[in-house]
Structure formats: C-alpha cells, structure tokens
Chain A
C-alpha cells in the first residue's frame, strides 16, 4: 500500500516535471481541474505516510510547475516560507496535531 501510493505520487511528479509547455489554452479546461483534484487526493493520502510538511512542500512545488511557473527560486522560497509559517503558527502556537507521517514519527 505504502509503496503503491508513493510510486503513483512519484509518477505524477515526473509526469508534471516533464510537462515543460505549461498549461495555457483557451476554452474550458476540465482536465486541469481533474488533475488538481487528483493531486489533492494523492497529497492527502501520502500525508499520512510522509507527514504534513514534506507532502505539502512537494504538493506546492508540483502544483506550481504544473501550472507552468518557471522561476524555481521563487517556488522554493514561497513553499519553504509557507512550511515554516504553518509550522510556527499551527504546530507550535495553536497546537494543531498535524500528521507527522508514519514513516517519520519515530524520528520525533
């Protein structure tokens, strides 16, 4: 189960990284929405295994690349900022028990 999930996640990631064109076309683009819903479902499933922080980071980067954003530096900085921000606000201040992930729980 774990391996199956993470491999789909990985495959989606690779597929997206290859998509260099970006996704800008005219007309209704149900495919973009469905892909994003797919991303979200996989993201939520993977979260239980690798934890909120890692899965969110990968999800955000994947999403930005899929939407055709080019500047890697900006992507890394925004995603990392959100991770640090959510860690401080939600995990440390609000004591929200964000999933740390079955694979990493022992580390903490």
Chain B
C-alpha cells in the first residue's frame, strides 16, 4: 500500500502543465531521434543532456527518459518503412516489418510495433515499480564490499555479452577503467596520470566523453561510409490493424514484454539482445513459424514488445543500485550527476519525489507515445527524409556546445573531439564503444567502494561477506563462460 501512496504522490508531481508538456516534448524528440537515420537513442539522449542543466532534476530526468522510450519506437519506423533500422534493437523489427511494407502494408507493421511498444513499455514500468522499492531497501543495507562486487559483476557481463566480440568488448571496458584512473584519486587525493597538468586534475568529465563516443564517433563512421542519400519512404495512405488483429497478438506481446524486462535488468544485455531472444522464442512457439521473416505480425510484436520493455528493466539496477545496465542508462547517470544526484538506493530516501515522479512519468510517457505515434504517423515517416548532409553538421555543432556547457571549459570540447576520434578508430576495428562508458562509470563505483570496504573491514571482507562472495563468484563465472566456449569452439574447428 505504501507503494500505491508513493506512486500517487509521484503522479501528483507529473500531473501538471509543465511536466506533461515536458513529456510530450521528450516523446516527440525521441521519435524524431529514433526515426532520423543517423541518430541513435543513446546519441539523442547524450546530445540533449546539456539542455537539461537549467531544469529541475525531476523534469530533466522525465525529459531524458521520455526521449529514451520514444526513440525505441522511432527506430522501428525507419526499420519498417525503409529497412534502415534507426536503432540497433529495431534491426529485429525490420525482419518482418519491412516485408510487410513490401507487401504494401506498412500501416500494419507500424500499428503493431506502436501498440507492442506501448504495452511493452507499460509492463516494463510496472515490473520496475513493483521491484525497485523492495530491492532498494535491500540495497540500502549493502556494505561497500557488495557494491564493489556488483560493479565487477557489471563489468564482466559487459564482456561476456559482447558475443563473439567478447575480447574486444572486454578491451573496450578496460580502456574505460584506465580513463577513469586519470585525475585525483577520489579518496586518498593522490594525483594520477595528470603529468602536472591542471586541467587533468578532475579527470575527464563523463558528458563530453559520452558525446564524443556516442555522437561524434558514430557520425565519423557514417561519414566514412560515404553514403548520404537515404531512401524516401512512402507516407501515403495506410491501412492500420483493427482491434481484433491486435487482440490476437496479446499473448505474444505480453510474453515478449516480460522477457524484455528480465533481460533488460542484466547489465550489458539491453534492448537488442532482448529483441533477438524474444523473436527467437516467439518463432519457436508460434503456430505459423514459416511466416517469420516474410512479414509476420507476431514477429514485429515480439521484437517491439521486448525492446521497449527492456527500458524498464534497465532502469531497475540503475535506480536501485546505481549500476547502469546499458549505454543509454549510463548516459542517464551522467545526467543525474550534473544535478549532483548519485543514483542508488539512497535516492529512494533522500529524494522520493524524483524517483516516484520518474516512475509515474514513465507510465504517462508510454501513453503519450501511443497517442502521438498514432496521430502523427504520417509526420514521423516524413522525418526519415531529413538529409544527412544537413544533419551531420548540426550534430557537430550541438556536440561542441554541449561538451562546452558542462563545465564551461574548452578542455572538455577538445576532450570530446578526442573521444570522438578515438571512438571512430575503435569502431573501424569493430570494437564496441558502450563498454568504455560502462568502464568509466563502473570503474569509479568499483574503486571508491573497494577502498571504503577495505577501510571498514580489511582485505578479506570481500570473501567473508556471503553476498559479496556470491556476487564475485557469479562475476567470475560470467567472465569465464565465453572463455570456455571459445576454447571449445576452437577445439571443434581444429579436429
């Protein structure tokens, strides 16, 4: 009951002209960011963080989370209409969405993906609401040793979920850890790798690094492709599904929403993996699996339900433990930090208004997404025709001003450009860049809690506290599984 009253309070924060306008603005910008070829959700959120400085922390979070949610749907618009997934996770949507467009039924795919996204988002949020409170209460009792173990677990899953690229993902996470060590030691005050240069004392700020890695490097990569013309989508008359057709998909949508949320919880997994797993499972359970890949509405529903619900899942570790589960939530950590808020269980006690306002606004954002997606569908399809030739210089300009505005420092702008070039080089050699950010954030959590734990309980504390020991063992397991798998595969190929 406490939950309901808290949520009621939360709703009272968001029912108002300003918060609702903020959500509408966020959803609109999110759909545009997702639907514009060349703009990804994490890029959209990273670029917009600097605009939220002047807002209250609650409004800033509401705006960014609304963008995050809506961008997932926006990405499927391009996936369906021009087979150019606007977000990595909507790749799965395009498997069946684009064949539907080729059959002349883009409206069917768009309708299913909108409804599946909305329901997925709401299911994810509900699970988030029910579990975050109790989890945060447990997390409040955590010893620094457990936080250290959690951060290590987060880092190892990043590596293991890099798939075949796990070595590269792991190296990227290591880069993040190394970058995090630059600057003054947070506890002892020793300066590390500063070479006596005063601008390195504070280390690299997170936001310029995020903008460089997610926005600039991505644009550099696309510039390198040298293709700036995108196919024009047909925004003509469309036939949308009837209520009965949606109703037939209810089980698929609900199942994929639950799968998506659960997968979203795990650090490093996220929307793309959620969508793939749910698509796979739905195909296996479907009565007509042969339709998949040829324009199955079930396939679209499975992908969209999962990738949207993973947002709620990814917010669970972020809000309750302060551990980011994905690239986009790492960006949200950056946004919280500029408002001097440290994400974690303390937030539930120190600023419940922010937490419950955020949870209530998530529900509202999904409903607004349904309305805007439905009534604005033709407009959103037009967004896909924004020329990259115009878009790229704008993104550069936004990146430069955004990285400058964090600390009013020119060094940050140069750092942002540096991270952009660095990220581009890594992308050229197929290294993922998100683990760098996770390494920077989790590295900071790991090292401060490590030192605190040692100060409080000595060196053995990590192994004598059962919770910490179990988490470290799980981390070891998740790290060694891909290692063993790779070795097995090698043996198989050599035989």
List A residues at the B interface (Cβ < 8 Å). Answer: 23-30, 32-33, 36-37, 40-41, 43-44, 52, 56, 59-64, 67-69, 74-75, 78-79, 82, 86, 89-90, 93-94, 96-99
Q: Which of B397, B408, B414 contacts A97 (CB 8 A)?
A: B408
Q: Are B401 and A29 in contact (CB under 8 A)?
A: no
CA distance A94 to B51 in the complex (A): 8
Closest to A97 in B: B408
CA distance A36 to B421 in the complex (A): 11
Q: Are A96 and B396 in contact (CB under 8 A)?
A: no
- Is the C-beta of B227 less than 8 angstroms from some C-beta in chain A? yes
**A67 CB, nearest partner CB in chain B, Å:** 4
Contacts of A40 in B (CB 8 A): 396, 400, 417
Closest to A81 in B: B394
**A74 CB, nearest partner CB in chain B, Å:** 7
Q: Interface size class for chain B?
A: 20 to 34
CA distance A2 to B97 in the complex (A): 55
Q: Are B389 and A64 in contact (CB under 8 A)?
A: yes
Give the interface centre of B54, B387, B389, B390 by most chain A CB atoms within 10 Å. B389
Contacts of A60 in B (CB 8 A): 393-394, 396-397
Q: A36-B220, A63-B396, A89-B51 are in contact. List 19 more A-B contacts (CB 8 A).
A: A24-B227, A25-B226, A28-B224, A28-B225, A32-B224, A33-B223, A33-B224, A40-B417, A43-B400, A52-B401, A60-B396, A61-B393, A63-B393, A67-B388, A68-B228, A68-B389, A74-B390, A82-B394, A86-B397
Contacts of B417 in A (CB 8 A): 37, 40-41, 44
Known: A44-B400, A82-B397, A96-B405. A24 touches B226 (CB 8 A): yes
**B207 CB, nearest partner CB in chain A, Å:** 13
Q: Are A98 and B404 in contact (CB under 8 A)?
A: yes
Contacts of B401 in A (CB 8 A): 52, 56, 86, 90, 96, 98
B residues 387-438 with Cβ under 8 Å of A? Answer: 387-390, 392-394, 396-397, 400-401, 404-405, 408, 410, 413-414, 417, 421, 424
**A19 CB, nearest partner CB in chain B, Å:** 13
Sample of 27 A–B contacts (CB below 8 Å): A24-B227, A24-B229, A28-B225, A29-B224, A40-B417, A41-B417, A44-B400, A44-B413, A44-B417, A56-B397, A59-B393, A59-B397, A60-B396, A62-B393, A64-B390, A64-B393, A67-B228, A67-B393, A69-B389, A78-B390, A86-B397, A90-B401, A94-B54, A96-B401, A96-B404, A97-B408, A98-B401
